[in-house]
A and B are shown apart, each in its own frame.
Chain A
Amino acid sequence: MDCWVSGWRTRFEKTVKTRRSILALFGLFLIASPFLFSSLIPNPANGSVSLRLSCKAATEFFLTTGVITLVILLLGPVTIPPLKQFLQKTILCLKASLPSSIFEKVPEAEDWPRLKIKYTRILGVILILASLFFGCNASPETLSLVTRTGLHMILALGLNIAVGMAGLLVLGYAAFYQLGAYVMAVTANNYPWVPWWLLLLPTFVIGAIVGTLVGLPSLKLRGDYLAIVTLGFGEAFHELSRNLESVTHADQGLTIPAACGFQSISFHGETLLTQDQVAFFCVLLAVVVTVIIIQRIYDSRIGRAWVAVREDELAAGAMGVPVLKMKLLAFAISSGFACVAGVMYGALIGFVDPSLCTLENSSLYLTMIILGGLGSIPGALLGSSLLTIIPEELRNYFPQWGDYRLLIVGVVMVTMMLFRPQGMIGSSRIRRELEDES
Chain B
Amino acid sequence: MKPLLSVINLTKTFGGLKAFQDISLDAYPGKILTIIGPNGAGKTTLFNTLTGIYTPDSGEIYFEGERVDGLPTSAICCRGMARTFQNIRLFAEMTALENIQVAEFSRDVTGWHDLLLRTPRFLRSEKESIERAFHLLESVGIVNVANHLARNLPYGLQRKLEIARALATKPRMLLLDEPGAGMNPTELNDLIQIILKLREEGTGILLIEHHMKVVMQISDEVVVLDHGEELAKGIPSEISVNPQVISAYLGEALTHP
Contacts and interface: CB of A to CB of B under 8 A. Distances in A.
A242 B121 CA distance: 49
Contacts of A106: 134, 143-144, 146-147
Contact of A304 (B73, B102, B144): B102
A288 interface: no
Contacts of B104: 301
A307 B123 contact: no
Contacts of A433: 93, 149, 151-152
Interface string B185-204: 00000000000000000000
Given A314-B89, A318-B82, A433-B149, A308 B94 contact: yes
B65 interface: no
A322 interface: yes
B76 to A, nearest CB: 8
Interface string A356-392: 0000000000000000000000000000000000000
Interface string B109-148: 0100001101000111011011100100000000110111
A311 B92 CA distance: 7
A276 B190 CA distance: 67
Nearest to B91: A311
Nearest to A305: B105
A429 B169 contact: no
Contacts of B89: 312, 314-315
Nearest to B116: A296
A320 B147 contact: no
A429 B147 contact: no
Interface residues of B, number: 50
A300 B110 contact: yes
Interface stretch (A95-103, A186-194, A412-420): A95-103
Interface residues on A, range: 35 or more
Given A105-B134, A311-B91, A297 B73 contact: no
B94 A304 contact: yes
A308 B100 CA distance: 11
Contacts of A300: 110, 115, 122, 126
A308 B82 contact: no
Contacts of B148: 436
Contacts of B105: 301, 304-305, 319-321
Interface string A82-116: 00000000000000001111100110011000000
B31 interface: no
Contact of B102 (A105, A296, A308): A308
Contacts of A432: 149
Contact of A319 (B77, B118, B123): B77
Among A99, A102, A320, A430, max chain B CB count under 10 A is at: A320
A323 B73 CA distance: 9
B83 interface: yes
Interface in A395-438: 429-430, 432-433, 436
B123 A436 contact: no
A317 interface: yes
A296 B123 contact: no
Interface string B31-59: 00000000000000000000101000000
Contact of A99 (B73, B126, B144): B126
A293 interface: yes
Interface string B73-88: 1100110001101000
B165 interface: yes
A302 interface: yes
B182 interface: no
Contacts of B102: 301, 304-305, 307-308, 316, 319, 321
A99 B123 contact: yes
Contacts of A102: 127, 130-131, 134
A304 B148 CA distance: 16
Contacts of A98: 123
Among B53, B77, B82, B93, max chain A CB count under 10 A is at B93
Contacts of A101: 127
B134 A308 contact: no
A302 B102 CA distance: 9
A322 B74 contact: yes
A300 B168 CA distance: 17
A432 B51 CA distance: 34
A305 B99 CA distance: 10
Q: For A110, A296, A301, A305, which residue has the most chain B Cβ atoms within 10 angstroms? A: A301
Interface string A161-198: 00000000000000000000000000000000000000
A320 B152 contact: no
Contacts of A312: 89-92
Contact of A318 (B51, B131, B152, B168): B51
Most buried by B among A110, A311, A318: A318
A353 B168 CA distance: 52
A319 B169 contact: yes
A323 B74 contact: yes
Given A305-B102, A320-B106, 20 more contacts: A99-B123, A99-B126, A109-B146, A296-B115, A297-B115, A300-B126, A302-B115, A305-B105, A307-B91, A307-B94, A311-B93, A312-B90, A319-B82, A320-B74, A320-B105, A322-B72, A323-B74, A429-B93, A429-B94, A432-B149
22 contacts: A99-B123, A101-B127, A102-B127, A102-B130, A102-B134, A105-B143, A106-B134, A106-B143, A296-B118, A297-B116, A299-B115, A308-B91, A312-B90, A314-B53, A315-B85, A316-B102, A317-B53, A319-B168, A320-B105, A321-B106, A429-B93, A436-B149
Q: Which 4 A-B pairs have the closest CB atoms?
A: A99-B127, A317-B73, A315-B89, A320-B77
